[in-house]
């Protein structure tokens, strides 16, 4: 059967639109439409392709995860070998590299170098013929790699066909496939919950994903790719510099690292190393150094290669993020919900430029799986803002008599029984808020930024105040006989000024939104989002507490299932908790902003989609979002044609620009406040 022209045209239009959205989302990190809209387009294309199979083509966006698992990998010969890089470990070695380059080129002038982060993933080569993706290969030994086309196809940042025109007939693009840290952490956390094996680091996770024969596994892994060079090229279309080439590749739809730069001379290289190094811990992905490449291809050709590495490039390495050390013992830490977590005490070691003396072992299951024993040599890893962890034991170095570790039977803080529910990885102290450790953690959570937001009341001060017997529940914070300027000023590292600032912050926190207050209570599994859903649904604490008598009514709230409902019910049936709440809202004057759910149902902003950006002065962005939702409006993280209003504050950036371009009505803070007042 021949597909009607109409279906043919629609299929073309859908592919074009989906490719554009993939590009916006995965390459530019700037999605244009909400996920739901994307899913609709995708589903429509799937349906049309299955109704008219003759319209199906290999590079359709629907074909990224396709095909049956392979029996084995086939080999790919690299037309241009995939080289490695020489390393420099100090500024002196960078200076020496630059000197060698200038001497060989007999250049008086400073050299321009393309400077790039050295990404810690897996090198992959992508082959395009007439602008269409045909093959992906690993580096292998540099001459021959493995065909991983089936897996790389599932990575949405890799274009299946090039955008624009003017590309060479054969174009091999090279770069690094990697896993962003957030995706890696989420994946490991999920594996830990499910009692499955975790990956040691994002690089192993990346390699492990690409080495799968079944592409459905890679498709589930949060992989992405930055390209950093070219291999075989047949035909015209590329500029004469490396940096120009990368800009051209970006225009054709590839993802290029935004940290890339062009610097001048050894001094420029060293400054770049410092600049990127200072930001390494905040970056969304792992890098193990920076790379400097002579920018002009003519100069690169003149310099040539030595054995397996080019003379025109060097990798300037950062301190390693994994090191070996000795595990001296285990401390058991008690968290806010009573979770008893093993923390390894280590022989202090420098990891990534910071001394590490403690590292998490996550939970007793992980500890058993890794079979970590006292006296073992272990690999510790520290990356980004993530807590250092013990990754594995170096079994070969285990000494006789290395001692196994077992879960303590009693809480190390309060001595109550430690219980581990059937099938749970987490063991808990059974004492609840009677355990001092849990109380301290609960207080820290209560005052934290997304909860009551009491600035100046840090962890150390809370511990001091609890240890001094000044406070034991959140209500005590608002009790003037327990907390006042004199008492605060008498604490370690506190003065009159910081004490009175803190008193002002406590005072200011007395007016609080219901969602923040609910989040602050620290009910198990009630995070920010759930707290907000509960607030919007019930409108007041009283209605929520009443609803606890009827389990059915709690599960009616968005994202609240039977387990969360049970935690909520249990929390509000505890007399101790009710007593704290009564004190807070009664004699201590905490005012929870309540609203009639009816007000929400009046839906002043119903069907209106808002984006909030920049810094507002009268309220936080979170409060602004809550106010919108309370009026039935929707809040989105990105501007698209579907956005009805953009609310902007100071220092608004790209979202404001984009809204301007799309002609979306803009509201400054004053306009927005007026609108809230209705």
Contact footprint for ligand IVH (CB under 6 A): 83-85, 116, 118-119, 123, 139, 176, 228-229, 291, 310, 313, 315
Closer to ligand IVH by Cβ: residue 141 or 496? 141
Pick 176 or 441: Cβ nearer ligand IVH: 176
Please, what is the minimum distance in Å from the beta carbon of residue 308 to ligand IVH?
A: 9
Closest by CA position to 339, among listed 418, 444, 442, 405: 418
Which of 273, 313, 274 has its CA nearest to residue 290?
Answer: 273
Catalytic residue flag (residue 118): yes
Q: Helices 91-105 and 265-279, interaxial angle, to 10°?
A: 150
Q: 285 or 478, CB closer to ligand IVH?
A: 285
CA 240, chain centre distance (Å): 36
**Residue 290 or 414 with smaller CB distance to ligand IVH:** 290
CB of 380 to ligand IVH, least distance (A): 23
At 332, which helix (H) or strand (E)? strand 322-334
Q: Which is nearer to ligand IVH, 98 or 176 (CB)?
A: 176
Give the nearest distance from C-beta 275 to ligand IVH in angstroms: 16
Distance CA 526, CA 577 (A): 15
| Burial of residue 563, with CB atoms counted within 10 A of its CB: 0-12 exposed, 13-18 middle, 19 or more buried | exposed
Name the residue whose CB lies closest to ligand IVH: 123
**Minimum separation from the CB atom of position 81 to ligand IVH (A):** 9
Q: DSSP character for 306?
A: E
The answer to whether residues 521 and 570 touch, using CB atoms and an 8 Å cutoff, is: no
Distance of closest approach, residue 291 Cβ to ligand IVH, in angstroms: 4
Phi first, then psi, for residue 203 (nearest 5°) are -65, -45
Which structure tokens are listed for 268?
Answer: 């420029």
Of 114 and 611, nearer to ligand IVH (C-beta) is 114
Q: Is the dihedral of CA 291, 295, 299, 300 positive or negative?
A: positive
Report strand pairing: 645-648 vs 609-613.
parallel
Q: How far is the CB of 412 from ligand IVH (least distance, A)?
A: 44
Minimum CB distance to ligand IVH, residue 310 (Å): 5
Q: What share of the chain is helix, strand, coil (3-state, %, to 5)?
A: 40, 20, 40
**Secondary structure class of 430 (helix, strand, coil):** coil
Identified catalytic residue from 118, 317, 634, 658? 118
Q: Give me the least distance between CB of 65 and ligand IVH, in Å please.
A: 25
Q: Which residues contact 424 (CB under 8 A, 6 or more apart)?
A: none
Residue written as token pair 């920049």: 614
Which class for 304: exposed (0-12), middle (13-18), buried (19 or more C-beta within 10 A)? exposed
Find the helix or strand (DSSP H, E) in which 346 lies: strand 339-351
Nearer to ligand IVH (CB atom), residue 228 or residue 610? 228
Cβ nearer to ligand IVH, comparing 133 with 228: 228
| β-bridge pairing 666-667 and 377-381 | unpaired
Owner of token pair 């799986």: 369
Q: Cβ contacts of residue 292 below 8 Å, gap of 6+?
A: 94, 97, 113, 114, 115, 263, 269, 272, 313, 314, 316
Q: Are 546 and 498 in contact (CB under 8 A)?
A: no
Catalytic positions are 118
């Amino acid at each position: 059967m021949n597909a009607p022209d109409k279906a043919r045209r629609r299929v073309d239009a859908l592919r074009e639109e989906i490719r554009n959205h993939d590009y916006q989302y995965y390459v530019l990190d700037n999605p244009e439409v909400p996920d739901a809209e994307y899913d609709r387009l995708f589903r429509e294309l799937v349906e049309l392709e299955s109704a008219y199979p003759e319209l199906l083509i290999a590079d359709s966006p629907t074909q990224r995860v396709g095909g049956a698992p392979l029996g084995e990998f086939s080999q790919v010969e690299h037309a241009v070998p995939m080289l490695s890089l020489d390393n420099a470990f100090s500024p002196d070695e960078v200076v020496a590299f630059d000197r060698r380059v200038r001497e060989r080129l007999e250049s008086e002038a400073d050299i321009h170098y393309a400077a790039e982060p050295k990404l810690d993933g897996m090198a992959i080569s992508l082959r395009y013929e007439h602008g269409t993706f045909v093959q992906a290969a690993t580096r292998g030994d540099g001459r021959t790699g493995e065909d991983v086309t089936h897996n790389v196809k599932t990575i949405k940042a890799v274009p299946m066909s090039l955008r624009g025109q003017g590309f060479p007939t054969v174009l091999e693009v090279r770069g690094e496939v990697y896993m962003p840290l957030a995706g890696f952490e989420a994946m490991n956390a999920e594996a830990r919950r499910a009692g499955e094996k975790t990956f040691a680091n994002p690089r192993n996770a990346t390699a492990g994903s690409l080495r799968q024969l079944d592409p459905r596994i890679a498709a589930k892994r949060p992989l992405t790719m930055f390209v950093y060079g070219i291999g075989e090229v047949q035909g015209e279309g590329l500029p004469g510099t490396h940096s120009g080439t990368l800009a051209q590749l970006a225009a054709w739809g590839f993802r290029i690292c935004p940290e890339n730069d062009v610097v001048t001379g050894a001094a420029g290289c060293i400054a770049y190393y410092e600049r990127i190094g200072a930001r390494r811990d905040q970056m969304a992905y792992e890098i193990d150094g920076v790379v400097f490449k002579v920018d002009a291809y003519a100069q690169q050709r003149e310099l040539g290669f030595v054995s397996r590495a080019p003379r025109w490039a060097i990798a300037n390495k950062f301190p390693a993020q994994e090191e070996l050390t000795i595990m001296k013992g285990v401390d058991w830490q008690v968290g806010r919900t009573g979770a008893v977590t093993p923390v390894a005490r280590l022989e202090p070691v420098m990891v990534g430029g910071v001394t590490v003396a403690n590292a998490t072992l996550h939970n007793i299951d992980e500890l058993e799986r890794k079979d970590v024993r006292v006296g073992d040599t272990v690999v510790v890893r520290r990356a980004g803002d993530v807590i250092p962890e013990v990754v594995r034991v170096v079994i070969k170095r285990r000494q006789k008599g290395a001692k196994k570790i077992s879960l303590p039977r009693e809480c190390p803080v309060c001595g109550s029984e430690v219980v581990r529910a059937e099938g749970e990885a987490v063991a808990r102290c059974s004492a609840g808020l009677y355990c001092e450790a849990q109380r301290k953690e609960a207080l820290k959570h209560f005052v934290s930024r997304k909860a009551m937001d009491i600035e100046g009341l840090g962890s150390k001060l809370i511990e001091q105040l609890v240890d001094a017997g000044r406070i034991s529940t959140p209500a005590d914070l608002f009790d003037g006989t327990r907390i006042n300027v004199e008492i605060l000023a008498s604490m370690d590292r506190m003065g009159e000024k910081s004490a009175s600032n803190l008193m002002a912050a406590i005072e200011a926190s007395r007016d609080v939104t219901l969602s923040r207050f609910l989040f602050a209570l620290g009910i198990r599994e009630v995070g920010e989002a759930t707290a907000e859903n509960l607030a919007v649904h019930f409108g007041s604490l009283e209605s929520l507490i009443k609803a606890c008598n009827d389990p059915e009514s709690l599960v009616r709230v968005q994202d609240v299932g039977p387990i969360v409902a049970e935690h909520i019910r249990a929390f509000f049936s505890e007399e101790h908790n009710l007593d704290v709440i009564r004190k807070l809202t009664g004699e201590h004057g905490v005012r929870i902003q309540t609203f009639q759910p009816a007000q929400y149902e009046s839906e002043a902003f119903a069907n209106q989609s808002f984006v909030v950006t920049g810094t507002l002065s009268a309220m936080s962005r979170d409060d602004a979002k809550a106010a919108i939702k309370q009026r039935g409006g929707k809040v989105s993280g990105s501007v698209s044609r579907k956005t009805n209003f953009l609310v902007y504050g100071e220092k608004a950036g790209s979202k404001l620009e984009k809204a301007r371009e799309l002609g979306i009505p803009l509201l400054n803070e004053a306009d927005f406040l007026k609108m809230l007042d209705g």
